[in-house]
Amino acid sequence: MSAGVAPNAVAAVSEGRLWQRLMEMGEIGGFEFEGGHKGVNRPCLSALDRTARRLLISWAEKMGASVTIDPAGNLFLRLEGEDPSLPAVLTGSHMDSQPQGGRFDGIYGVLAGLEAIEAIATAGIRPKRAIEVVAWTNEEGGRYAPGCTGSMSFTGFKPMSEFDDLVDRDGIRYADALAEQMEAESDLAKRPLGYAPHAYLEAHIEQGPRLEVERKEIGVVTGIQGSRWFTVTVEGRSDHAGTTPLALRRDAVQDMVRAIGALNQLMHDPDDVLRFTVASIKVEPDTSNSVANKAVFTIDFRHPDKAVLLARGDAIAGVVQAAMRSCTATVHERFHALPVDFAETATGAVAAAAQAQGLSSLALPSGAFHDAQFLVPVCPTGMIFIPCRGGVSHHPSEHAEPVACANGARVLAQALLSLANS
């Protein structure tokens, strides 16, 4: 990269255009929320998802990017390089949201990627390698858990077929939802699944409070903490709530409450680094005057230290079993991702770009998981965080300032160029 080139591309990043596109995307699946907030509910592989993808494609085609999709439904926008035979530099994120999500998580990384390649093209720069912007299928896991099925399929972390039989709340299989999307997008050019990019960068809101609290403009992400997801099923017996003495009951709700209490003890962390969440609960028969015969709850457990992640995660099943008074419990681990460290090649390009632009930065690990973690085994990978208000995400009040969004896109443009010319 010549020293004079990147600033032109950086200057061509348009804060107004990027913001306008974020707001326009926020209307697709958007809803009004209390407090004047505008939330987004845009499930993956839905009609809303496809509407959003068509809008993205229209912008990409207007700026001259070529558009392809792979068999996992991942969508690619390519700015061609001088040597099309070289592995491309990849950037992007996802376009699906949580059921009650916000206007920035995921979609920001896709639009920042588009903004970066549009700025590079506008500046008349042709990098050595192509730069591709990807929108990964189903990162959130809101409709089909676990998430990141698109990036896991792309990198071979899991075979695509592994996700076929996931079902959403309406009983629709993942394979069928994906087939419906492929059919709806059959006019788009196909590409094979996966390749080894030269590097991967993902821009994202921080989803935590550190950048805001420490007044830093750019987060240079050093890695992603590990995640383990479990489903616990507690089974007892239904009885009449008015007649059955408590001593004779096998009450699934009560044993679930005991299990959650015991898990709170297991997961206690005075440093508040460990993340332990029970967020989804289903009981049966779910009628107020019949003792529950079944209670199913989820565990989301994360930690940046592999040793802690393994030791406490492995202890979950035993702690749950020990908490059962009269019911039986089964613990199923449905997602297991160890902590990952990003490569210096990628993190260095991000740090250098921030420094060159005079932006303050902070090196920090990611608390959330991202598609980026599945790219780590196949190429040098990094992420760029921008501050978000109060660290809030997965909520309609999620917010990033226009200038913060533009800062992230400018750092991304420069870092992508640096990597694409290396």
Number of residues that bind its own copies (CB under 8 A): 69
Annotate each residue in 97-136 with x if it binds its own copies (CB under 8 A) or - if it does not, as one string.
-xxx------------------------------------
Selected binder of its own copies within 55, 179, 278, 317 (CB under 8 A): 278
**Is 172 or 260 the residue whose CB approaches its own copies more closely?**
260
Judged by beta carbon, residue 383 or residue 416, the one nearer its own copies is: 383
Residues ≥6 apart with Cβ < 8 Å to 149: 72, 137, 138, 158, 163, 166, 174
Q: Six-digit token pair at 260?
A: 């959650």
- Under 8 Å between Cβ of 383 and 361: no
Q: C-beta of 288: minimal distance to its own copies in Å?
A: 4
Nearer to its own copies, 167 or 278 (CB): 278
Q: What angle in degrees, to the nearest 10, is found between the helix axes of 107-122 and 47-62?
A: 10
Report the residue count for the chain: 422
- Least separation in angstroms between CB 364 and its own copies: 11
| Least Å from the CB of residue 56 to its own copies | 24
Which position among 107, 253, 349, 400 is part of the footprint of its own copies (CB under 8 A)?
Answer: 253
Give the torsion sign (CA, 375, 151, 44, 283). Answer: negative
- Is 367 among the residues that bind its own copies (CB under 8 A)? yes
Phi, psi at 79, each rounded to 5°: -100, 115
Instruction: Report the candidate in 251, 259, 253, 252 with the shortest Cα–Cα distance to residue 276.
Output: 259
- In the numeric block, the tokens 């009040």 are attached to 397
Q: Which member of 108, 200, 342, 369 binds its own copies (CB under 8 A)?
A: 369
Spatial distance between the Cα atoms of 361 and 57, rounded to a whole number of angstroms: 32
The least distance separating its own copies from the CB of residue 62, rounded to whole angstroms, comes to 33
Instruction: Pick the stretch among 3-11, 51-59, 175-183, 270-278 that binds its own copies (CB under 8 A).
Output: 270-278
* Residue list 181-240, contact with its own copies (CB under 8 A): 206-209, 225, 227, 229, 237-240
Site residues for its own copies, 46-105, by CB under 8 A, read 98-100
CB 292, CB 190: distance < 8 Å: no
Lay out the site mask for its own copies across 337-366 (x = CB under 8 A, - = otherwise).
Answer: -----------------------------x
- Regarding 174 and contact with its own copies (CB under 8 A), the answer is no
Among 4, 192, 265, 279, binds its own copies (CB under 8 A): 279
- What's phi and psi for 335, nearest 5 deg? -160, 135
Span from 7-15, 45-53, 281-289, 324-332 in contact with its own copies (CB under 8 A): 281-289
Instruction: Please say whether the beta carbons of 235 and 325 come within 8 A.
Output: no
Report yes or no: 263 and 312 within 8 Å, Cβ to Cβ: no
CB of 170 to its own copies, least distance (A): 14
The residue (of 141 and 382) whose beta carbon lies closer to its own copies is: 141
Instruction: In whole angstroms, give the CA distance from residue 149 to residue 50.
Output: 17
Judged by DSSP in three states, 264 sits in helix
For 85, counting Cβ atoms within 10 Å of its Cβ (0-12 exposed, 13-18 middle, 19+ buried), the class is: exposed
Q: Binding segment for its own copies among 62-70, 115-123, 268-276, 314-322 (CB under 8 A)? A: 268-276
Does the footprint of its own copies cover residue 32 (CB under 8 A)?
no
In the complex, minimum distance from the CB of residue 174 to its own copies, in angstroms, rounded to a whole number: 16
CA-CA-CA-CA dihedral for 174, 175, 177, 182, to nearest 10: 140
**Residue ranges in 286-305 that form contacts with its own copies under rule CB under 8 A:** 286-293, 295, 298-300, 302
Nearer Cβ to its own copies (172/278): 278
CB of residue 389 to its own copies, shortest distance in Å: 13
Nearest to 299, CA basis, from 160, 106, 145: 145
Q: Could you give the CA distance from residue 379 to residue 365 in angstroms, rounded to a whole number?
A: 18
β-strand pairing of 281-284 with 294-303: antiparallel
Quickly list DSSP for 208-226.
Answer: SSHHHHTT-SEEEEEEE-E
Give residues in contact with its own copies (CB under 8 A).
98-100, 140-142, 145, 147, 206-209, 225, 227, 229, 237-248, 251, 253-254, 257, 260-261, 264, 269, 272, 274-281, 283-293, 295, 298-300, 302, 366-369, 391-395
